[in-house]
Structure 1
């Protein structure tokens, strides 16, 4: 068993393989694990184009209960906006708190206070949609001035809640200087992202892979062209 396989089994977390290309030539290959603290040589950090902060969220991360909520407390206005979005999942939600008194395996518990319940309940009793929305939104805060990688971002998000959830993510990424990369096989989810925030459409682009005589190629469409391709030409971008 090679070193990478041993590391995968030991960590038991999702891994993302990253390759960096310059003018079509592969310059570097690396692996990024959820929650990984990577060693980065000082000479790499000195590069003016280097971005140290990279946050990766896998399709099933929400099921593990690992969030970035503590960091959003530094942004009261965004916290209030996040609560408004979460009303799509629980219309009576009041707040989200971290209970350090019920420590399990060295960690406390996130609890949601809602008018529909007599006391705050652990986030784990809520559905995957609520968990995924909170994870995605808190990950935006964690990625401030960096890069956010969302793999199959729409997983567990109900279609009725997509507009407000994706709008918050896209607009908050722009506000916090986050470059976000989102992957999906869902035509509906891609359409929701493209149309959720008209003021951010010029900052969006859609990349699709397709087979041709030379193998696999990449097609790039800016946000407006992608919407036209879907709505007027009937192309499925996924």
Structure 2
């Protein structure tokens, strides 16, 4: 049994959505990152990009809004905002490679304190290579945010001194959002911006494969009565 909070995928997405500023252009990568679209504040104008050719993507489509020809990077039906555009891949990738994205939000297998990212293949014997547009997104955006569990299902750290899996990008990661913490990559160090309620830095360090440093104003991640994460 543990006496500390562990965030689910939706709660991690809520934390990330809270940190996206007004007016940002943001790519949501495959997997957990696509959940962020459902938690952006309604009053905040954010332009969402999907590598399969959507600019102006909205939330997940429900009921009568579902169009199976209109999907995000995770192949989930989505809506469009007024003024959205649909492009083919060459234009979509030009957006990614041309420095037009303020944020790329990606999943991750491993991250190192120098910002190295591995997120396209593991060393498992049955691993299927799935690079997609990850390399373009990792190097083409002004800031790269990673969403992932803090450890593997076997309890092995995913924040490491050095990535052991093939790299997607070198020195690209700015912040990692996990089920246990928000960790910024600053000056070659993992700096903990926020830690889940009930967990100590020592406990987090035991689950991390590289030294951790506490931010001077480190916050605690707790849940509201509605189950939404908040920093206190």
Q: Same fold (TM over 0.5)?
A: no
Higher helix share: 1
Q: Scaled by the length of structure 1, what TM-score is found?
A: 0.32
Relative contact order, CA 8 A, sep 6+: which one is greater? 2
